[in-house]
Amino acid sequence: MIDDRTLAEAFHKAKAADRMRVPPLPAILARAECAREMQNRRRFTAAMWCASALAGAGTLCAIVLAPGGFPLAMSPSIAVVLAPGLVAALWGLAPARTALQ
Amino acid sequence: MSGPDFGAWYEATYPRLWSWVRRVLGDPNAASDVAQEAFVRLLQSGRQSLPEAERAPYLFTIARNLMRDHWKRRARIDESGGEDVRSVAATGSGDIVAAIDLERALDGLSAQERSIVWLAYAEGWDHRTIGRVVGVGEKSVKVLLFRARKHLVRLLGGTS
């Protein structure tokens, strides 16, 4: 009968018999620092995309809600101006979402 | 947590984490990758200042998630899967026979069973902590550990 104590001893012996190279801590710290910088950069990019998307949406809302703005927004000339901006803003949400994950 | 304190904790914890990951993955090289990445993510998260009782389980949980990613990647690369590259550390000590027997018995367990019995017997963690690390409830750990132990004892040649 193998009891818990025997089992625990066997596991401890197996653990003690393991041979591995412990990487130097400075190398791990450097990798962590690099990863943190990358994360900060991704967050900054995400913030920029979000700001772009909000600005685009805000501009469109302001034009539509302004007195006489709706017909203006529907006019072909303003649509030509706004459409690329709106597409860029909406398109910006995808990388922002990805970067925030 | 100050530098020297973390350094000492790192030196003591890295081998523990590596041993567990190696048993679960069965691959020493992958174990090194996962163990290093787990420490990097712990430092990146800024949670290295957690109390000792919470820090190690948190680190092991990160490693558990990294192992899941490893399995997913491996499944994508090697559709056949199932290949176990488990190897036994050659130490030349008199206890090697017992170690080999345990390693062989562990080979017969599932990854989850290996994970749970290792955390219970090699790490000596309670059901709650093991549950947090492997992502199951405390009561489930009790049942899973009972079954895994029974299975392991049978593989070791003892009566369960």
How far A79 CA lies from chain B's nearest CA (Å)? Answer: 45
Most confident of B46-55, B83-92, B117-126: B117-126
- The alpha-helical segments, DSSP class H, found in chain A are 4-17, 25-65, 69-74, 76-100
Nearest 5°: the CA angle B128, B132, B133 is 120
Q: What is the per-residue pLDDT for B64? A: 94
User: DSSP state, B121?
Assistant: I
Give ∠ CA A79-A82-A83 in degrees, rounded to 5. 75
Amino acid at B25: L
Predicted TM-score of the model (pTM): 0.71
Q: How confident is the model at residue B24 (pLDDT cuts 50, 70, 90)?
A: very high
- Residue B141 burial by Cβ neighbours in a 10 Å radius (0-12, 13-18, 19+): buried
Q: Which of A5, A18, A21, A33 to mutate to test the interface with B (most CBs of B within 10 A)?
A: A18
Cα separation, B48 vs B17, whole angstroms: 15
Least confident of A26-35, A84-93, B24-33, B53-62: A84-93
Alpha carbon distances (Å) from B74 to B27, B28, B33, B89: 12, 15, 14, 23
Q: Considering only alpha carbons, which residue of chain A is nearest residue B160? A: A1
pLDDT at position B34: 95
Task: Answer whether A35 sits within 8 Å of B44, measured CB to CB.
Answer: yes
DSSP string spanning B72-83? HHHHHH-TT---
